[in-house]
Amino acid sequence: MKATTNCQTIEILSLSDKQLRELSTKNVLSLSLAEMKAVQDYFRKLKRNPTDVEIETIAQTWSEHCKHKTLTGIIDYTEEKGTKKTKRTYNNLLKETIFKATMELNKKWCLSVFKDNAGIIEFDAKNGVAFKVETHNHPSALEPYGGSATGIGGVIRDILGVGLGAKPLANTDVFCFGNPHTKDSQVPEGMRHPKTILKGVVSGVRDYGNKMGIPTVNGAVYFDEGYMANPLVYCGTMGIIPKSKINKKVNSGDLILVVGGRTGRDGIHGATFSSIQLDQECDVNAVQIGNPIVEKKVLDTMLKARDLNLYRAVTDCGAGGLSSAIGELGEKTGALVYLDRVPLKYDGLVPWEIWISEAQERMVFAVHPKNKKRIVALFNKENVEAVFVGKFTKDKKLTLKYDSDVVASIDMFFLHYGIPKPIRPAVYKIKEENVQKPIKMNSASLLKVLKDVLADLNVCSKEWIIRQYDHEVQGQTIVKPLQCNSIEGSGPGDAAVIFPYTVAKGTKKGIVLSNGLNPQYGKINTYKMAANAVEESLRNAVAVGANIEKMSVLDNFCWGNPNNPKILGSLVRAANACYDMSKAFNIPFISGKDSLHNEYCIGTKKYSIPPVLLISAMGVIENVVHTVTMPLKNGGNKIFVLGITRNELGGSVLAKIKNVKGGVVPEVYPKESKEIMERIYKAINSGLVQSCHDCSDGGLVVAISEMAFAGDKGVKIDIDVIKTKGELSVAEILFSESNGRFVVEVNPENEFKFKGIFKDCIFAEVGCVTEDKNVVFESVKNKIKVKEKSKNLLNAWRNTITW
């Protein structure tokens, strides 16, 4: 070990606890005192101080971003309900909830779960489909365009780096922002205006996704003041991979090949920086700089190399850069890397910067020496840089050299398993939810509220965003995000279906993608928020014709600071809901990711985000011909509402608009809704359904109105026959957001068969489709008649975001 001009020794052996803390903060290591002491102990045994490269390597590897130490750490959890307290200790929350459910369900068609860069399920006899969703929140807050672009770029590389590489077929994106109509004067100093962030983020995803030639087909945007300081940017990618390419293996003696972009000083400390609260002093160097065309070239060439069996393992350079990528691949073998061989964007990088830089568009391969020349030639042929930087060894050590000096030498075991497990306390107090005071409205006010709900930021059309994404590239998007009966029009589709006919030649199958999230519910009850998200994601997929027997889900937690016991407690609750729902619906989780520490400090005031669990669902559809869309199709068809409407307005759009106090957050009744979902699949597959729409934000009245204006039709609905639990007022029936409900259009000639399929379920025929283009909701019992032209409702819905 030798300190050179480029590599410093860091004094750690003699430091006091206080000094260790200071060192962690000063060098953006984001390590706790216990972790710093573990590092100190390790080097005390070696009887030497670490180099800067070593300490940076450990910090990246042990970062929350890479290790997920909260979800896999020890949690002492206390739940309070009234005066009753229940305690439970989790040794590994993830393994004892989400992962446990997957293990217990033990689906044969789950081909790779929770171990690689993405989860993989079976598509057909030859192929699997992989799905991963990531967050890129902190970078997007600092630099919205670059942050979101590299967010999508990064998750695409996860798909390239799963197994031996999958071909990306579709992207998804989900954002949470502050209110874009906020007055400038109300934006706190040091923060960007939410509209600026939104526009930057959308442009970033658009430019990167479009230039990669991957359609962005599904997503959501959620607005809440709580995200003003700290926007959330979720990016997902789904890809297809031959089953024979799912496993990777690194052998001692394999060469380490770095392919793609060059390494620069961008993205230094990205992994560790994501664990600190944002403030005005944050370093923009932590944000990476993306170049989609470089990544596109890597994609095109690496799949050729994959099919020629020119490498044995691959992973992407994400958080922690080469440090994480090579550290992971070489965990079982050891690795020797010559940092001076890494191609650089410009001179002047010191060894530790080269090693942890998160410069984009880089992949790392393990190559058998016999393929050395062929693989480099293949990449070079299409102008892709590919350089060998070292080899995998058998000494189980990570050794880094720079100009023949050893600048790091750490045991792989310590690096990967030396991190101490802290015990964190968590508490959750279950709030009592009560039904709000009865809400009475007359016909005129109901119509006004309906228009307000349609125009609400969380219900209104997101066409301005969706059209900027090329959602049709690759020619395989056969259920589109915006739906209509001709080619003009733009109803909100529930889920997207990709028909991968250019890859799996001759196939009839498709892949459905959908999502569920509702942070509003989480403000009251994070268990219900999580349960709702799972149910909503499934409901959305079922509405276009998915079979829930072939569905899988991904979890993405975005939470505040887990060192706050209350915040951690709400996370434990949500994780438990995931377990319960996974088991009840018989749906495995296949991958996930958490982003904690989403908080922002201005002066002494701390802002923490309302917690969000995004559930992204992926499933395989047997025959894409049997998929349906949501616009109403023909006058004279009958409209059915499946499921029961309860008095559940807690966290609803109506409650927000009318400032309703109290209310019960929608509960999930898995048995009830699973039965309905199974039968809808049967009905859609038998060709008995003309259109189908999931009922969520805004309730039944929104779902039915959307179907009408998307199809340019009218409807006549009898409110009195809608099935409810107990006596509900008209407003409660129309705007309650109860789960498990669908609106379905059926041709009268199929009515008998359709009813037969649902004979043991709760459902009602509530009206019919009309050609007069008037939307009519009537309750004779309550002397209510809401009537409006469907075009006017369309305008209310689509005029909120038009820039």
Residues assigned a catalytic role: 65, 136
Q: Within 10 Å of residue 67's Cβ, how many Cβ atoms?
A: 16
Q: Does 626 bind another protein (CB under 8 A)?
A: no
Q: Does 799 bind another protein (CB under 8 A)?
A: no
Q: Does 802 bind another protein (CB under 8 A)?
A: no
CB 305 → another protein: shortest distance, Å? 14
Q: Does 469 bind another protein (CB under 8 A)?
A: yes
Helix (H) or strand (E) holding 681: helix 670-685
Q: Does 238 bind another protein (CB under 8 A)?
A: no
CB 487 → another protein: shortest distance, Å? 4
Q: Does 624 bind another protein (CB under 8 A)?
A: yes
Based on CB atoms, which residue is closest to another protein, 212 or 654? 212
Helices (H), 736-789: 751-757
Q: Does 507 bind another protein (CB under 8 A)?
A: no
CB 632 → another protein: shortest distance, Å? 12
Segment contacting another protein (CB under 8 A): 49-57, 499-507, 650-658, 701-709?
499-507
Segment contacting another protein (CB under 8 A): 12-20, 501-509, 518-526, 727-735?
501-509
Q: Please, what's the largest Cα pairwise distance for the chain? A: 88
CB 790 → another protein: shortest distance, Å? 17
CB of 575 closer than 8 Å to CB of 93: yes
Rounded to whole angstroms, the Cα distance separating 492 from 494 reads 6
Q: Indicate which single residue of 473, 524, 602, 657 sits in contact with another protein (rule: CB under 8 A).
A: 473
Q: Does 360 bind another protein (CB under 8 A)?
A: no
CB of 728 closer than 8 Å to CB of 736: yes
Please report the beta strands in 623-741, taking only residues with DSSP state E, as ranges in sequence order: 638-642, 691-694, 714-718
β 119-122/763-770 pair status = unpaired
The token duo for 739 is 């789960």
The token duo for 569 is 């407690």
Q: Does 625 bind another protein (CB under 8 A)?
A: yes
CB 469 → another protein: shortest distance, Å? 7
CB 675 → another protein: shortest distance, Å? 29
Segment contacting another protein (CB under 8 A): 171-179, 290-298, 434-442, 595-603?
290-298
Q: Could you say which DSSP state residue 437 is in?
A: S
Based on CB atoms, which residue is closest to another protein, 462 or 480? 480
3-state SS assignment for residue 798: helix
Q: Rule CB under 8 A: which of 756-785 touch another protein?
A: none
CB 159 → another protein: shortest distance, Å? 16
Q: Does 3 bind another protein (CB under 8 A)?
A: no
Give DSSP secondary structure letters for 366-384: EE-GGGHHHHHHHHHHTT-
Half-sphere exposure of 113 (CA within 13 A, CB side): 25
Rounded to whole angstroms, the Cα distance separating 19 from 12 reads 9
Q: Does 379 bind another protein (CB under 8 A)?
A: no
List the x/- string, 628-647, binding to another protein by CB under 8 A.
-x------------------
Q: Indicate which single residue of 467, 566, 753, 787 sits in contact with another protein (rule: CB under 8 A).
A: 467
Based on CB atoms, which residue is closest to another protein, 402 or 469? 469
Q: Does 292 bind another protein (CB under 8 A)?
A: yes
Q: Which residues contact 429 (CB under 8 A, 6 or more apart)?
A: 79, 80, 81, 566, 569
Q: Rule CB under 8 A: which of 299-358 touch another protein?
A: 300
Q: Indicate which single residue of 38, 46, 213, 406 sits in contact with another protein (rule: CB under 8 A).
A: 213
Helix (H) or strand (E) holding 131: strand 127-135
CB of 609 closer than 8 Å to CB of 526: no
Segment contacting another protein (CB under 8 A): 271-279, 484-492, 559-567, 663-671?
484-492
CB 474 → another protein: shortest distance, Å? 6
How many residues line the site for another protein (CB under 8 A)?
Answer: 41
CB 291 → another protein: shortest distance, Å? 8
Segment contacting another protein (CB under 8 A): 86-94, 282-290, 469-477, 720-728?
469-477
Radius of gyration of the chain (CA): 27
Rounded to whole angstroms, the Cα distance separating 165 from 252 reads 21
CB of 393 closer than 8 Å to CB of 329: no
Segment contacting another protein (CB under 8 A): 98-106, 370-378, 443-451, 474-482?
474-482
Based on CB atoms, which residue is closest to another protein, 157 or 297? 297
Rounded to whole angstroms, the Cα distance separating 148 from 156 reads 12
Q: Does 480 bind another protein (CB under 8 A)?
A: yes
Q: Rule CB under 8 A: which of 177-206 touch another protein?
A: 206
Inter-axis angle of helices 526-544 and 565-585, nearest 10: 40
Q: Does 690 bind another protein (CB under 8 A)?
A: no
Rounded to whole angstroms, the Cα distance separating 661 from 135 reads 33
Rounded to whole angstroms, the Cα distance separating 147 from 134 reads 12
Give DSSP secondary structure letters for 154-208: HHHHHHHTSTT--EEEEEEEEEEE--TT--GGGSPTT---HHHHHHHHHHHHHHH
Segment contacting another protein (CB under 8 A): 188-196, 249-257, 502-510, 570-578?
502-510
Q: Does 791 bind another protein (CB under 8 A)?
A: no
Q: Does 487 bind another protein (CB under 8 A)?
A: yes
Q: Indicate which single residue of 51, 140, 274, 476 sits in contact with another protein (rule: CB under 8 A).
A: 476
Q: Could you say which DSSP state residue 280 is in?
A: T
Based on CB atoms, which residue is closest to another protein, 118 or 624? 624
Burial letters 180-203, b for 16+ CB under 10 A, else e: bebeeeebeeebbbbbebbbbbbe
The token duo for 794 is 């369309």
CB 703 → another protein: shortest distance, Å? 20
CB 199 → another protein: shortest distance, Å? 11
DSSP-assigned beta bridge partners for residue 497: 479, 512
Q: Indicate which single residue of 46, 478, 660, 757 sits in contact with another protein (rule: CB under 8 A).
A: 478
Q: Does 210 bind another protein (CB under 8 A)?
A: yes
The token duo for 669 is 């009744």
Q: Indicate which single residue of 92, 252, 443, 468 sits in contact with another protein (rule: CB under 8 A).
A: 468
Segment contacting another protein (CB under 8 A): 84-92, 126-134, 444-452, 486-494?
486-494
Helices (H), 545-635: 565-585
CB 802 → another protein: shortest distance, Å? 11
Burial letters 690-727, b for 16+ CB under 10 A, else e: bbbbbbbbbbbbbbbbbbbbbbbbbbbbbbbebbbeee
Q: Indicate which single residue of 474, 582, 647, 800 sits in contact with another protein (rule: CB under 8 A).
A: 474
Segment contacting another protein (CB under 8 A): 93-101, 138-146, 347-355, 376-384?
376-384
Q: Report which of 693, 692, 684, 679 is spatially closest to residue 750, judged by C-alpha positions.
A: 684
Q: Rule CB under 8 A: which of 562-621 touch another protein?
A: none
Based on CB atoms, which residue is closest to another protein, 284 or 625? 625
Residues that bind another protein (CB under 8 A): 206, 210-213, 291-293, 296-297, 300, 381-383, 467-478, 480, 483-488, 499, 501-503, 505, 624-625, 629
